[in-house]
Chain A
Amino acid sequence: MAVSGADLVVYMAMNRPINDSSTAGGDINSSIRATFDDPSSTVAVNFSSTSALDVQDVSVTGRNSAGTITSETITLSGTTTIATSNTYERILTCVLSSGAAGIVTASGNGVNKLTDIPATESGFCRPFYDATASSSSTKTLYDKVFIKNNNSSSTLNNATLIEVSSGLYSKINFGLEAIQNSSQTVTDRTTAPTGLAGAALVYGAAPSGMVGDELAAGNYQGAWLQLSLSAGETATNSYYQVQVSGTTA
């Protein structure tokens, strides 16, 4: 079966630091995705599942309309829609206590779907949690994501990753890990990782071929994101856009 766009997913790493002193990176966390949409306005978040078996807890952390980080844990009710007590202007993390039995949909008002949590997975997360600039000096942070080929049999050939010139592209670059399925960590997210692909361990925005120029079935390519903040950086809620391409038989 040929690789389709739906087979390609960006996941977070096992270590997802919430400050500048915790360990970052590690192996892939194939349950937590790094992609979702924010609510279109500050609202409670609704959850519902396609399976009646989904009655586990879901922990939601985000910012309210005042910009304050707020969290809560509510219990799913199968196919019945339940809503958070708090309202959220943006989501930082959303994690189920166990893998979903069905497809759990998180949404704001009406059709404002944030994302689906597929069966067996457990949530989604924003890279660079609470990344805070310094008032007096530049600051560089690193966070790790993975591009995984979830196809069970086919390889993505000529696989490349490229940055799209929108959102925070001028502040973020990426560097591919020199080996696939890597579990490299760094002591904290201010520490630059080593072992990147390429001659000079460079971070860049240009098309970059994945290791071996392919992403075999079930394999994943680690990519460190480098966020460069200037002194006195203005607060921003935006996104970083990347494009994965390749061919498939």
Chain B
Amino acid sequence: MFGFHSISEAPFSSLVEEAGVVTSLKMPVEIVSSIEAILAARKMPVGLVGSLVESRKIPAELIGSLVESRKIPVEFLTELVVARKIPVGYLSELIVTRKIPVEHLLSILTNRNIPVEIKTDVVLKTFNLPIEVVGTEVGVEGLKWVLTSRNATWIISSELLELIWELDSRNAEWIISSDIKSIWQLDSRDSNWKL
């Protein structure tokens, strides 16, 4: 009856003016609720929403939906909660749905003088599940190394493992463990291998 459809289509500056008019008229809550839908659609600044909520004494339930739909910052929500004396039960729901950080919760509790046992209304528990990832599987092919003798030095390399070992064969005798025997090809032309 106040032409809200035209408000929703009006330029932003007009909307701000209309909001002031609405406030001064002390309209019923139901009508203010309609206005809030319009405000949400128009992305009205949080400050203006706040002044409207404050002056019109909108019920806590409506503040909640407003907070959800507009993603109002926690700092502002805190002010709103304190100023509006929102019932403790409803505050709990807000805390759960909005994931309010502990610091702000403390501020709210302090300002509202909420009895300590009320905090047990909200259960929040974090779990750490230890999980490991072993990393890339290395195929058997990557362990087949070929050793070739040049002069008195043995060079073993594996690009896959990004390792380069240089073995000095001064005594010309090598001892290799048996499990390596099956996968390494050993050239013993100038050396004595013990397997």
**Chain A contact residues, CB within 8 Å of chain B:** 2-5, 8, 10, 34-38, 63, 90-91, 126-128, 130-135, 145, 156, 158, 160, 164, 167-168, 171-172, 225, 227, 229, 231-249
Contacts and interface: CB of A to CB of B under 8 A. Distances in A.
A227 B134 contact: no
Contacts, number: 134
Given A133-B135, A135-B137, A245 B130 contact: no
Nearest to B138: A135
Interface of B: 92-93, 96, 120-139
A195 B141 CA distance: 41
Q: Is the interface of B mostly helix, strand, loop or mixed?
A: strand
A247 B92 contact: yes
Contact of A135 (B92, B123, B128, B136): B136
Closest 4 interchain pairs by CB?
A235-B135, A5-B125, A135-B136, A132-B134
A4 to B, nearest CB: 7
Given A133-B135, A134-B136, A2 B120 contact: yes
A27 B133 CA distance: 25
Given A133-B137, A234-B135, A247 B129 contact: no
B126 A238 contact: no
Given A134-B136, A236-B133, A247 B127 contact: no
A233 B132 contact: no
Contacts of B137: 132-135
A243 B132 CA distance: 20
A2 B121 CA distance: 8
B127 A233 contact: no
27 contacts: A5-B123, A10-B129, A35-B127, A37-B130, A91-B130, A126-B130, A126-B131, A131-B134, A132-B134, A133-B134, A133-B135, A135-B136, A135-B137, A158-B96, A171-B133, A225-B129, A234-B133, A235-B133, A236-B133, A238-B131, A238-B133, A240-B129, A241-B126, A242-B127, A246-B96, A247-B92, A248-B123
Given A8-B125, A128-B133, A242-B129, 13 more contacts: A63-B132, A164-B126, A167-B131, A231-B136, A237-B132, A239-B129, A239-B131, A243-B127, A244-B125, A245-B96, A246-B123, A247-B93, A249-B121
Nearest to A245: B124
A235 B131 CA distance: 11
